[in-house]
Amino acid sequence: MHEAASAVKESPCILGQEQGVFAVYKPSGWVVHPAGEDDVPDLISWLTDQGEGALPVHRLDRSTSGVVLCSPDAAVRARLGQWFAERLIEKRYLALVHGELNRKGVIRDPLRDTRRGRKVEAVTRYQCLEQLEGFSLLELHPETGRKHQIRRHLQGLGHPIVGDRRYGPSDFQRIPGSPERLWLHAQAVRLPTGLSFEAPLPDVLERHRDLMRNPISAD
């Protein structure tokens, strides 16, 4: 089973609409752009079905849930794209990782870019919100937007994300009440204008977090 297969039944929804920007919730198991696989739902097709004419400005990994910014206006999309390129849009993620981390830190490890054929700058800031019996709940702020950046950075730090089959731990680790998906959620974005959008933690991750807080009931 794909790491996000259990979440495919969840549907997207529009979180908010303001100043020509649509914030859409993308569930885990969905791709942003059509993948050429009939059994893989995509956000663009869903947006088309809504009749809004909006198109996504950026991507999230198939396994990651959370906020995706869209707009039906090409000029708005161009402006948002420029803000992303200039690192003016703040992004906040939540992740549950293996092991216990310090209170906060910054990962500045360059990552190899396949298209460029070399390593490129990659910066991820993190803060430990809670330690849960050998795991840590983190808030993350990626300052750059490299492919699988958060997942690769946390693996390199020795604290891979729970449920990550590609960048996970090398040896089997039991996870009480495993949610059977990647434990990574794009929780919020904030534009340089002050406009912000937030996606609540999916029910499956919220329930798992609560179980991890009470390991007796998780067994």
Residue pLDDT tens, the chain, 219 long: 344 444 457 899 999 999 999 999 999 999 999 977 778 999 999 999 998 789 999 999 999 999 999 999 999 999 999 999 999 999 999 999 999 998 899 999 999 998 888 999 999 999 999 999 899 999 999 999 999 999 999 999 999 999 999 999 878 778 889 898 999 999 999 999 999 999 999 999 999 999 999 876 444
C-alpha neighbours within 13 Å on the C-beta side of residue 127? 5
Q: How high is the pLDDT of residue 2?
A: 41
**DSSP annotation of 4:** T
Catalytic residues: 61
Cβ(176)–Cβ(215) below 8 Å: yes
Into which CATH architecture does domain 5-218 fall?
A: 2-Layer Sandwich (3.30)
Residues 81, 76: Cα–Cα separation, whole Å: 8
The pTM is what? 0.91
Residues 110, 122 contacting (CB under 8 angstroms): yes
Of all helices (H) and strands (E), which one includes residue 107? strand 104-107
Domain ranges of the chain: 5-218
Q: Is 158 left (phi over 0), alpha (psi -120 to 50) or beta?
A: left
Chain centre to alpha carbon of residue 204? 15
Q: Find tokens 């996870």 and name the residue.
A: 175
